Structure 1
Amino acid sequence: MKEYSIRRSVDYRVYVSEPLTFYAKCTQYGYGCDWLIWVSMISRKHCWVIRRYNSSHTCTRATIFQDHSKLDSNTIAEAIKPLVEIDPSLKVKSVIAEVQSKFNYTDPSTVIHFETMPAYQGDDLVSDIRVLHRVFWSYYPCIRAFRHYKPVVQVDRTHLYGKYKSCLLVAVSQDGNNNIVPIAFAIVERETSDAWNFFLSNLRQHVVTRDGVRLISDQYESINAAVE
């Protein structure tokens, strides 16, 4: 159903989702579209039966919106799983091309910038291998939405305590309803002036592009140095 909706640039709202019953309608149901589906499980036969199905959408758009709610990570993962099983070294560009071809979905302009460093085994340099040093990213909906937020950005950090001992940097802003909204992220080696400069420079270049925005942070010396 997800693939059907994505391919046709339509959407549906689920009203009942239970182990034995599933019922959904088009999001435009009652506004010129009567698409709906009602299915139930027949336990003794171990199969689903369609009880009611209005199959005609009258709200189909020519193109899909970037933020289609059904094009989630699970849907994309299922689409590219066969390709990765055949070739685990599949390039990201090939994955993007497959998603675009399968769903008529274009790149949402998410910004990702990363830096790498040489790899060493002991004191010996390992040729042809680079190690991830730090990475910045901001999702396109965040970039687009910030244009309508208050001219205030707050930055902070938290240390990661899992397998990789890095530091997560986050920038947030505030919308017109006083909701706190994240707008950018970075994973860096540790909290240094250079790491904050990497984060704030990318934040300024890709997200906070307008002037007159106030920055809120603690008085950590590395932040002050990066800002200056």
Structure 2
Amino acid sequence: MAMKFVVYCGGKWEVVDGRLEYVVQADSVRRGFETSTTVSYSTFLKNLSESTGLQNITRVSYKISNFNDPIDIVDDSDLTFLSKIGETNPLELFKLYVVEDQVGSSAGSSNFFKCPDLNANVFPEDECNVYNKSGVTDNVNCPVGNKSQFYIGYIFRNKQEMKIELGKMCLSESFSYKVDRSSKTRYEVSCIEENCEWNFKAASRESCDVFYVKHFNNNHTCSKTQTYPHMRQANPMVVGSLLVEQFKDSGRIYRSTEIVKDFRIKEKVNLTYMQAWRGKCNALELLQGSSSSSFAELPVYCYNLEKVNPGTVTQIRTDSESRFEMLFVAIGAVIRSFVRNLRPLIIIDAAHLKGEFKGTMFLAVGMDGNNQILPIGYGIGKSEDGESWTWFLSKLKECIGEHPELAIISDRAASIQLAVRLVFPRSFHGLCCRHLMVNLRLPSKKKKGI
């Protein structure tokens, strides 16, 4: 796989308006460069020098759009890090900043200019009237002294990201906005108070999904004291993006009631329980992915599971239209432990799932000498019927083989009895004492009224 770069040379790094920027002379040349993601650092420098004609390279850096400071490439590990970014963004055109030798002039000299940043305004004057007399984009460094992170010419990756960031600003500043115009190329909003001058306008190029700030008046002429208890901007996407950091701690149980309380204290916003719950679901989806995408990656998961666990058996059953029906998984180490060391006893049961797609989880476990449970095989199916149990037990039999003294324990489900007779006809099938006790317990007699 190849990575493509725009190479900036003939400059150096200087602090400009409180930020580290790459400054170049007016006659500096930008070159194109392409390299493989598998080359070493020394080969990378050699190819860069030969392709661009640069000599005595002392520093090579790049920038990521959501990280202001430059990232240096000094060894193979740094190049590997950049290569991984390139592999996940195969269509990305990266900017590479090269320093050859110390440049004599300073950054404040009239012969030097700040190199365009990854988040600089790249739109022509007729689409974004933000140029001053010197031809430099107005308010480029506005976030340093502005309460808001937005400024004229600020670029969002897509419309969805822009709406999320706007919602975050509304929550932090305790106001709501209304949408005046929304389309594929325009997005205009204003303060929900009629006489307030606050407004925001953004536009996009038809050739891409990128949105940029075209006009932004961040001055409120309303009192901003008329806050609404349940803000319309507190949607699942905004709330979820604010909760992502809290849910990175997998050991914490963060309930919706706690989210409501935390938002009331930190953001001064009263969320409803459902707003908190939907935001929680969105945050988990941002971290773990959606259920649909997880199903799509199931073959990859099974392949990796078999690769790193020798002897592991996985099987995915689909219908005639290649839609998911059932899954069976048995870990190789557990199969070997059951066959060689455990007593010939298997306990089977099923549990109903409560996720987005529902379904039933099938489980077969064994017991060691200390009566501790060892999961031999597990799977997922649509429902607990005879066909599902027969398929699951047939796959289990392929893993453990035929055993003359095998005993299977389950509840009194008719589907299990049918499947055991078909798949393990010579095995003993017993019923769980706990289930018998619950099912045979007589209901208490109600006293009849006189």
**Given the two structures, how large is their TM-score scaled by the length of structure 1?**
0.50
2:163 equivalent to 1:160: no
2:134 equivalent to 1:131: no
Residues 116 and 134 of structure 1 are in contact (CA less than 8 Å); yes or no, is this contact kept in structure 2? yes
Instruction: Report matched runs for 1:85-100 at 5 Å.
Output: 85=88, 92=300
Shift in Å, 1:85: 2.7
Shift in Å, 1:145: 0.8
Q: Distance in 2 between matches of 1:185 and 1:83?
A: 38
**Structure 2 gap ranges (5+):** 1-80, 91-292, 422-450
2:363 equivalent to 1:146: no
Residues 309 and 331 of structure 2 are in contact (CA less than 8 Å); yes or no, is this contact kept in structure 1? no
Instruction: Report the equivalent of 1:34.
Output: none
Residues 314 and 327 of structure 2 are in contact (CA less than 8 Å); yes or no, is this contact kept in structure 1? yes
2:315 equivalent to 1:113: yes
2:220 equivalent to 1:217: no
Amino acid at match of 1:189: K
Shift in Å, 1:106: 5.7
Residues 154 and 173 of structure 1 are in contact (CA less than 8 Å); yes or no, is this contact kept in structure 2? yes
Amino acid at match of 1:140: G
Structure 2 CA distance for partners of 1:84 and 1:158, relative to 1, 3 Å: farther
Shift in Å, 1:109: 2.2
Tell me the secondary structure at the aligned position of residue 323 of structure 2: strand
Q: Distance in 2 between matches of 1:199 and 1:189?
A: 12
Instruction: Report the equivalent of 1:70.
Output: none
Residues 167 and 189 of structure 1 are in contact (CA less than 8 Å); yes or no, is this contact kept in structure 2? yes
Residues 309 and 333 of structure 2 are in contact (CA less than 8 Å); yes or no, is this contact kept in structure 1? no
Shift in Å, 1:83: 9.5
Q: Distance in 1 between matches of 2:408 and 2:348?
A: 8
Which has more radius of gyration?
2
Q: Deviations over 1:32-62 (max 9, x none)?
A: xxxxxxxxxxxxxxxxxxxxxxxxxxxxxxx
Structure 2 CA distance for partners of 1:85 and 1:193, relative to 1, 3 Å: same
Q: Distance in 1 between matches of 2:415 and 2:404?
A: 23
Q: Distance in 2 between matches of 1:219 and 1:83?
A: 56
Where has structure 1 moved over 3 Å in runs of 4 or more?
A: 81-84, 86-93
Tell me the secondary structure at the aligned position of residue 418 of structure 2: helix
Shift in Å, 1:108: 1.6
Q: Distance in 2 between matches of 1:139 and 1:162?
A: 24
Q: Distance in 2 between matches of 1:84 and 1:209?
A: 47
Shift in Å, 1:118: 3.5
Instruction: Report matched runs for 1:46-57 at 5 Å.
Output: none
Instruction: Report matched runs for 1:72-83 at 5 Å.
Output: none
Q: Distance in 1 between matches of 2:86 and 2:403?
A: 41
Instruction: Report the equivalent of 1:204.
Output: 397
Identical residues among aligned pairs (%): 30
Amino acid at match of 1:173: G
Q: Distance in 1 between matches of 2:412 and 2:404?
A: 22
> After the TM superposition, which of the residue ranges 207-216 and 130-139 deviates more from structure 2?
207-216
* Number of residues of Structure 1 aligned to a counterpart in Structure 2: 131
Shift in Å, 1:211: 2.7
Amino acid at match of 1:85: T
**Structure 1 gap ranges (5+):** 1-77, 100-104, 120-129
Tell me the secondary structure at the aligned position of residue 155 of structure 1: strand
Tell me the secondary structure at the aligned position of residue 118 of structure 1: coil
Structure 2 CA distance for partners of 1:178 and 1:106, relative to 1, 3 Å: closer
Shift in Å, 1:84: 7.4
Name the Cα RMSD after superposition: 3.2
**Structure number having the greater strand percentage:** 1
Instruction: Report the equivalent of 2:369.
Output: 176
2:384 equivalent to 1:191: yes
Q: Distance in 2 between matches of 1:82 and 1:158?
A: 41
